Structure 1
Amino acid sequence: MTFEYHVAKNGSDLGKGTKQDPFLTINKAASVAVAGDTVIVHEGEYREWVNPQHPGLSEWRRITYQSAEGEKVVIKGSEQIDTWEQLDGTVWKVVIPNEFFGSYNPYKEEIFGDWIVDNKNRHLGEVYLNGKSFYEVPTLDEVKNPVKQTEVVDHWTRKTVPMHDPEQTVYTWYTEVDLENTTIYANFHEYNPNEELTEINVRKTVFFPEKTGMDYITVRGFEMAHAATPWTPPTADQPGLIGPHWSKGWIIEDNIVHDAKTSGISLGKEISTGDNHFSKRKDKPGYHYQIETIFAAHKQGWSKELVGSHIVRNNVIYDCGQNGVVGHLGCIFSEIYNNHIYNIAMKRQFWGHEIGGIKLHAPIDTHIHNNRIHDTSLGIWLDWQLQGTRVSHNIFYRNNRDLFVEVTSGPFMIDHNILTADYALDNHAQGGAYINNIVRGNMVHRKMLDRSTPYHEPHSTDIKGTAPVYGGDDRWYNNIFVGAEGLDEVGTAHYKGYTTSLEEYISKIYDTTGADHSAFNVVEQPVYINDNAYLNGATAFEREETNLVSDFDPEFQLVEEGNEVYLELTLPENFEDFKGDVHSTSTLNRVRLTDVEFEKPHGGELVLDTDLLGEVKEGKTVLGPLSNLKAGKNRIKVWG
C-alpha cells in the first residue's frame, strides 16, 4: 500500500499528513514516507533541513518529493533576522546566542580542506539582503569602509578579469564568535535590514539524508537555497545543498538550486573513506590520500549495486561558491543533462583546486549532455578515472575556462559541444575521443608522469591497474577549430612528433634504448587526427592527411536573447565540400592502456549519429556539432 502525504504552511506535524490535515514540515513527511510513497508540498517558504529517514526500494518503488502542481515551494537553509542594531551610519550588527545554531555554527566554521589554496579566513555563513548575498571581509574596518573592486585576478588564467557584478554597491559583512555569542556586522547602505528580507545561513544543507543508503528518491519542482555547505574535495565528506549522500538511484529534476556556500548538488562520497587527511595530518601529498580513498571505498563495496546511477536533469543551478554539481565516486553510472548552470565561483571569495560548474572524480560511465554552462570559473572539470565518461551536446560561454580533463587513461568521449573560452580546453589526460566539436580557444596539453591513477574493467568499478598520463592516445575527428587574435594554441599542432598508429608506436618503443618502462616515457603515444577544419589562425597536426585550413575569419559568437542562445558563424565557400564520417565504436581505435573500447555505458556499440540539436546524421556529414551548418552566414538557435 502506498500513501500520498501533504505538507502545507497551515498544517501541523501532529496531523495525519492528508490533504485535509497536512503536516507543517517536509521533514515530518520525510520521517514517515517509505518506498512507493509521494510527498506533495504546497506553496510557501520552508526553512528546514529535509533529512529522509527511509529509502525507496527500486526504480518502480521510489519515494517522491514534489511541489504541488502550479505552486511555488521554496526550501531554505537560512533564517530571517530582524533584530539588527544600527552601529555606525550604514553599518548594523546582530548578536546571536550560539545555541541558536545548535551543533553547527557556520560563522565559526571556516572554509577548510584539501586543495584549498586561498580562503582568506572566510566562513561558511552568509548574509543575504532581499536575496542578494554579501561579501565577507576579514576586518570590521572593511565593513565600515568597503573597497569597490571592478577587476580581479582569475586564479586559473592569471589574467585580470572584470568582477562578476562590478556595478553593484559593495555589501559586506564580518563576524566574531566567542564562547557565548556570534556577532555579525554588515553594511546595508541605504537599507534598514529590519524592514527588508534579511537572512543568514544557518543549516549545512537543505535536502540531504544524514544516513547513507537512502536509495531511489526523487526530488522535483522545488526552489532550494541558502546552505552553509563546507568545502568538498574528493578526499572528504561531500555534502551539497542537495544530494543523495552515498546512495543509489536519485532523480533530481526541475528544481532551482542556488546560493550554496560551496556546492549545490552533490553526488559525492561520505566521510569514512577520507576526511581531509592531507590538510589535517600534512604528512604526505593529497594525491596519496586520494588513492587511499579509492581503495577504501572499493573495500566498502563501491559499485554500481551500491551507489550512483543518479539522474540530474532540467535544473537551474546558480550562485554557488565552489560547484554547481560535485561528486567523487558516488557519481558513477549517472546522467546529468538539460541543466542551466551559471555564476559558479564568480565571487572569488575563496579559491582551490576543486572548482567547476560540474566537478566530478571517477565518473565511470557517466553521461553529461545538453547543458548550458556559462559565467563560471571553470565549466566542467573531470578528474581521475574517466572511463566510459561522455561529455556531449553542451554549450559553454563566458567561462574563464570551459573544459578540463585530468589524469585519466580513458576511454572518454567529448562530442558535439561548443567551447568558446579563450582558455577552452585543458587536456592532462590520455585515451580521449574529440568528435564534431567547435573549439574556439587555447588548448593546453600536458603529460602527468608523476601521478599514476587507476583504470578499470569495462563498465565496472573493479580496478584493473594504474598508469601515469603519457599524453596522446587521443582521437580528433570532424572538429572545427577557430583561432582569434591573441590565441596561439588553437588546434592540434601540439601533437607534433606523436606517432600515428599502434604499430609505429610499438616499433619505436623497441628501437629505443632502455625498452621496458623507461622507453614508454619518451616515445609519444599514437594519435588519430583527421578531417578537421582550422580557421582564422588555428593550426593543424603536421601528419593530418585530410583537413580544411583557412585564414578565413568566421566571426564566431554565441548570442543570448532572453533564455535563448544563438550560434552565429560564417563559414568559407568550400566548407560544405569537406565532410567527415559518422564515428562509432567500430571506427575508433581501442584505448591502449586500459584496452577498452568506446562503448555505450552498459556495453554495445556507441554511434555518434545525433547532432547538438538532436538531428540524426546519415553517411558523411559536415564538420562540427550541427549537421545543418552551411557555407556563408549561419544563425542557429542552440538553446531555448
Structure 2
Amino acid sequence: MVTEYHVAKSGSDQSEGTIEAPFLTINKAAAVAMAGDTVIVHEGVYREQVDPQNPGLSNWRRITYKAAEGEKVVIKGSEEVNYWKHVEGSVWKAVIPNDFFGDFNPYKEEIYGDWVVYSPNRHLGEVYVNGKSFYEVETLEEVKNPEVKTEATEFWQGITIPAHDPEGQKYVWYSEVNETHTTIYANFHDYKPNAELTEINVRKACFFPEKTGMDYITVQGFEMAQAATPWTPPTADQPGLIGPHWSKGWIIENNDIHDAKCSGISMGKEASTGDNYSSKRRDKPGYHYQIETVFSAKKAGWSKEKIGSHIIRNNTIHDCGQNGVVGHLGCIFSEVSGNHIYNIAIKRQFYGHEIAGIKLHAAIDTQIENNRIHDCTLGIWLDWQLQGTRVTRNLFYRNSRDLFVEVSSGPFIIDHNILTADYAIDNHAQGGAFVNNIVRGHMEHRKMLDRSTPYHVAHSTDIKGFAPIYGGDDRWYNNIFIGAEGIEGVGTDHYNGYTTSLAEYISNVHDDKGSDHGAFNVVEQPVYINQNAYLNGAHPFGREEENLVTDHDPEIKIVEDGEEVYLELNLPDNFEEMKGHVHSTHTLERVRLTDVDFENPDASEVVLNLDLLSNMKAAPTVLGPLSELKSGKNRLKVWG
C-alpha cells in the first residue's frame, strides 16, 4: 500500500502523519516511509539530520521526500544560540555544555585528512549571523583585534590563500573546548547577537543516511544549509551535507544547498574501504591507499548493480568550503546536470588537493552536462578512472581554474563547453576527446609517469589493467582557442613532437632498439588535432592540416544580466570559412591503452551533435560550442 506522509511544524511525532495530523519531524517520517511512499514537508525550519531508515526498491518504487508545493522548507545542520554574553568591545562569547553536541562536537573536530595542505587550527564548526558565515581565527587575540591581513601564501600550482575575507570583512570566531564545555568567541561588530538570527554548526549533515544501501530515494525542493561536513578526500569516508552514502539510484533535484563546511552533495565512498589511512598511519602515500580503496570497494560490491546511477540536477549549490559535488567510486553511472554552482572554496580558510565545484574520482560513464559554474577555486576536477565520462555543454567563468582532468586513460569527452578562466585547462590525462569548446586561458599538459592508475572493461567497474599517463592519445577538433595578454600556453602546440596516427606510433615503437616495453615509454602517443581556430596569440599544433590562425582579438566577455548569462564575442571576418565535422564514435579513434571506443553509457554510438543550447547541429558544423556563432559581433544567451 502506497502512503503519503506529511510533516509540519504544527505536528507531533505521536500523530499519524496525515495532512490533518502531521508528524513534527522529518526523521519520524523517514523511520516509517517504505518503498513507493512520499513524504511531503510543509513550511518551516527543521533542525535535524534526516536519516532514512528504509530504501526504495527500484526507479518505480522510490521513497520521495519533497517540500510542499509553494512552501519554503529549510533543513539546517545548525542550532540557534541566543545566550551570548558580552566580553569587551564587539566581542561576545557563548558557553555551551558539551552534552549539547552529543558524540560529535564540530568545535573539537579539526579539518583533517589525506591531502590537506593548509588548515591552521581550523575546525568543522561555524558561526553565522543572519545567514552570513564568519571566519575562524587561530587565537582569541585575533577575535579582539581582527585586523585585515594582507599577506598571502602560495600553494600548489599557484593557488593563493588569502588570510581573511577578500573583501576585508572581519567577522571572526575562535573556540576553546574543555572536558565539560565549549566556549565560542565571536566579533559581531555592530550586531547584537541575541537580537539577531545567530546560529552555529552542530550536525555533520542535513540529509544523510547512517546506513549504507538506502537505495532509490528522491529529495526535491528543499533549502539545506549549515552543516559541519568533514574533509572528503577519495581515501576517506565522504559525508556531504546531503548524499546517498554508498547506495544506488538517488535523485537530488531542485534544492538550494549551501554553507557546508566542506562538501555540499556527496556521491562518494564509505569508511570501510579506507578512512584517511595515509594521514593516520603515515607509512604509505595516499596514492597507494587509494589503489587499495578501489580493490576494497570491489570486494564490498562496487558495481553498476549495487552502487551509483544517481541524478544530481537543477540544484543551486553555493558557499561550500571544499566541494559543491564530491564523490569517489559511488558516483559511477551518474548524471550531474543543470546545476548552478558558485562560491566554492573561495574563503580559503583551509586548502588541499581535493577542492572544486565538482570533484569526482572514478566517474565511470558519468555525464556532467549543462552546469553553470563560476567563482570557484576550481570549476570541475575529474581524477582517476575517467572512462566513458563526458563533460558537455557547461559554462565556466570567473574561476581560478576551470577544468582539471588527471591520471586517467580514457575514453572521456569534453565537448561544447565555454572555459574562460585565465587558467582554463589542466590535462594530466590521456585518451580524451576535446571537441567544439571555447578555451580562453592557460592550458597545462603533463605526463604522470610515477602513478599507474586503473582502467576498466567498457561500461563496467571490472578492472582491466593499470597504466601511467604517457601524455597524448588526445583528440582536439572544432575548438576555438583564444589567447590573452600575459597568458601563455593557449592552443595545442604543446603536442609538437607527438605522432599523428596509431600506425605511425606503432612503426616508431618498433623501430626503436630499446627493450620490448621500454620503447613504449619514449615514443610519443598519437594525437588527432584538426579544424580548430586559434585567435589572439593562441598557437596550433605543428602538424595540424586545417585550421584558422589569426591575431584577431575577439574581446570575449561573459555578461550576467539578472538570472541570464550572455556570451559576447567578436569573431574575425573569415571565421565562417573554417568548418568542422560532427564527430562521433566513428570519427574518434579508439583509445590505445584501454582499447575502448568512445560510446554512450549504454554502449550505443555517441554523436556530438547538440550544441551548448541543445540545438541540433548540421554537418559541416561551425567551430565552437554554439551553432549560431558567426563572423563579427555575437551576443548569445548561454544560461537562463
Identical aligned residues as a percent: 75
Deviation at 1:164, TM superposition (A): 9.1
1:361 equivalent in structure 2: 361
Unaligned runs of at least 5 residues, structure 1: none
Does residue 464 (structure 1) correspond to residue 464 (structure 2)? The answer is yes
Does residue 243 (structure 1) correspond to residue 243 (structure 2)? The answer is yes
Deviation at 1:166, TM superposition (A): 3.5
TM-score, normalized by length of structure 1?
0.99
Residues 421 and 441 of structure 1 are in contact (CA less than 8 Å); yes or no, is this contact kept in structure 2?
Answer: yes
1:352 equivalent in structure 2: 352
CA offsets 1:264-309 (integer angstroms, 9 cap, x no match): 0000000000010000000011100000000010111100011100
Deviation at 1:245, TM superposition (A): 0.2
Q: Identify if the C-alpha distance between structure 1 residues 159 and 328 changes in structure 2 by more than 3 Å, giving closer, same or farther.
A: closer
1:415 equivalent in structure 2: 415
Deviation at 1:517, TM superposition (A): 1.7
1:589 equivalent in structure 2: 589
Residues 163 and 349 of structure 2 are in contact (CA less than 8 Å); yes or no, is this contact kept in structure 1?
Answer: no
Residues 164 and 349 of structure 2 are in contact (CA less than 8 Å); yes or no, is this contact kept in structure 1?
Answer: no
CA offsets 1:471-506 (integer angstroms, 9 cap, x no match): 000000000000000111000000010000011101
Rounded Cα–Cα distance in structure 1 between residues aligned with 2:498 and 2:167: 49
Residues 156 and 400 of structure 1 are in contact (CA less than 8 Å); yes or no, is this contact kept in structure 2?
Answer: no
Deviation at 1:52, TM superposition (A): 0.2
Deviation at 1:513, TM superposition (A): 2.1
Unaligned runs of at least 5 residues, structure 2: none
CA offsets 1:154-208 (integer angstroms, 9 cap, x no match): 6454265889953353100000000010000000001110000000000000000
Rounded Cα–Cα distance in structure 1 between residues aligned with 2:154 and 2:204: 28
Q: Identify if the C-alpha distance between structure 1 residues 307 and 258 changes in structure 2 by more than 3 Å, giving closer, same or farther.
A: same
Deviation at 1:153, TM superposition (A): 4.8
Rounded Cα–Cα distance in structure 2 between residues aligned with 1:359 and 1:572: 36
CA offsets 1:232-271 (integer angstroms, 9 cap, x no match): 0000000000000000000000000000000000000000
Does residue 402 (structure 1) correspond to residue 402 (structure 2)? The answer is yes
Rounded Cα–Cα distance in structure 1 between residues aligned with 2:419 and 2:396: 5
Counterparts of residues 21-40 of structure 1 (less than 5 Å): 21-40=21-40
Q: Identify if the C-alpha distance between structure 1 residues 159 and 384 changes in structure 2 by more than 3 Å, giving closer, same or farther.
A: closer
TM-score, normalized by length of structure 2?
0.99
CA offsets 1:372-412 (integer angstroms, 9 cap, x no match): 00000000000000000000000000000000000000000
2:237 is paired with a residue of what secondary structure?
Answer: coil
Counterparts of residues 232-271 of structure 1 (less than 5 Å): 232-271=232-271
Does residue 574 (structure 1) correspond to residue 574 (structure 2)? The answer is yes
Counterparts of residues 542-621 of structure 1 (less than 5 Å): 542-621=542-621
1:292 is paired with a residue of what secondary structure?
Answer: helix
Counterparts of residues 253-402 of structure 1 (less than 5 Å): 253-402=253-402
1:47 equivalent in structure 2: 47
CA offsets 1:418-442 (integer angstroms, 9 cap, x no match): 0001110000000000000000001
Residues 162 and 348 of structure 2 are in contact (CA less than 8 Å); yes or no, is this contact kept in structure 1?
Answer: no
1:82 equivalent in structure 2: 82
**Aligned-pair Cα RMSD in Å:** 1.1
1:599 is paired with a residue of what secondary structure?
Answer: coil
Rounded Cα–Cα distance in structure 1 between residues aligned with 2:503 and 2:138: 60
- The one-letter code matched in structure 2 to 1:236 is A
1:293 is paired with a residue of what secondary structure?
Answer: helix
Residues 229 and 239 of structure 1 are in contact (CA less than 8 Å); yes or no, is this contact kept in structure 2?
Answer: yes
Q: Identify if the C-alpha distance between structure 1 residues 264 and 516 changes in structure 2 by more than 3 Å, giving closer, same or farther.
A: same
CA offsets 1:314-353 (integer angstroms, 9 cap, x no match): 0000000000000000000000000000000000000000
1:180 equivalent in structure 2: 180
Residues 149 and 166 of structure 1 are in contact (CA less than 8 Å); yes or no, is this contact kept in structure 2?
Answer: no
CA offsets 1:51-110 (integer angstroms, 9 cap, x no match): 000000000000000000000000000000001000011000011010000000000000
2:114 equivalent in structure 1: 114
Residues 530 and 545 of structure 1 are in contact (CA less than 8 Å); yes or no, is this contact kept in structure 2?
Answer: yes
2:401 is paired with a residue of what secondary structure?
Answer: coil
1:442 equivalent in structure 2: 442
Q: Identify if the C-alpha distance between structure 1 residues 536 and 162 changes in structure 2 by more than 3 Å, giving closer, same or farther.
A: farther
Does residue 13 (structure 1) correspond to residue 8 (structure 2)? The answer is no
- The one-letter code matched in structure 1 to 2:286 is G
1:453 equivalent in structure 2: 453
Rounded Cα–Cα distance in structure 2 between residues aligned with 1:15 and 1:87: 45
Count of matched residue pairs: 640
Residues 268 and 326 of structure 2 are in contact (CA less than 8 Å); yes or no, is this contact kept in structure 1?
Answer: yes
2:211 is paired with a residue of what secondary structure?
Answer: coil
1:508 equivalent in structure 2: 508
Residues 149 and 164 of structure 2 are in contact (CA less than 8 Å); yes or no, is this contact kept in structure 1?
Answer: no
- The one-letter code matched in structure 2 to 1:623 is L
2:518 is paired with a residue of what secondary structure?
Answer: helix
Q: Identify if the C-alpha distance between structure 1 residues 48 and 161 changes in structure 2 by more than 3 Å, giving closer, same or farther.
A: closer
Q: Identify if the C-alpha distance between structure 1 residues 162 and 638 changes in structure 2 by more than 3 Å, giving closer, same or farther.
A: farther
